[in-house]
Amino acid sequence: MNSKMQAIEHREWGFEDYLELALRKKWIILAVFAAVFTVSLIYSLSRRDVYSASTTFSIDEQTEFSGVNSNNRVMPYYWRMGPGKPLEYYNALIYSQPFRDMVVKAALADSQLLRNGGVSTDQVLEVLATLSISKEDEMSSLMHMGVRAFDPMIVYRVASLAALSFKER
């Protein structure tokens, strides 16, 4: 029998060998599967849902800036080829205190949020802490603004109010 075991050790394992191993160790395999399944189920049932809302809009980069005239004969196509304002400008805008004050004031007076029990200043500021803005790609003027929170109504309305406040700024 010892020579038979040595012969099995030296040959390449096939499907039947793996099947036999699985049948011999089936209780261990089932126990590990049950443990992983149970931990995954507990995690998915106990964690809070995170909702996100976002908006995509276009920034008109063809507008004239001060100090440059479109009738300039030296650089007539400067603003068509120019990059416009950098992304850091818009990040500074959405992280500024006047912008946040404008969104908080609008959220506290929002009729849809008031119908659902209202919202506190701390809740709005918590949602605004997740506010981010990014460019869709380098060559496009499309901007993407998004927020995340645990309450779907708050995240929807704060994203909407932030987009409206961004347009006003």
Q: How far is CA 24 from CA 3, 21, 138, in A?
A: 22, 5, 58
Per-residue pLDDT averaged across 145-154, rounded? 88
Cα gap 35→83, rounded to integer Å: 55
Cβ atoms within 10 A of the Cβ of 22, count? 11
What pLDDT, on a 0 to 100 scale, did the predictor assign at position 4? 65
**Is it the case that residue 41 has pLDDT exceeding 90?**
yes
168 Cβ neighbours under 8 A, 6+ residues apart: 102
Reply yes or no on whether the pLDDT at 48 is more than 70.
yes
Greatest mean pLDDT range, 81-90, 130-139, 144-153: 144-153
Q: Does residue 110 surpass a pLDDT of 60?
A: yes
Angle between helices 121-128 and 97-108 (to 10 degrees): 130
What's the rounded Cα separation, in Å, for the pair 123 and 114? 13
Q: What is the pLDDT of residues 113-138, one digit of tens each?
A: 888 888 888 988 898 888 888 887 77
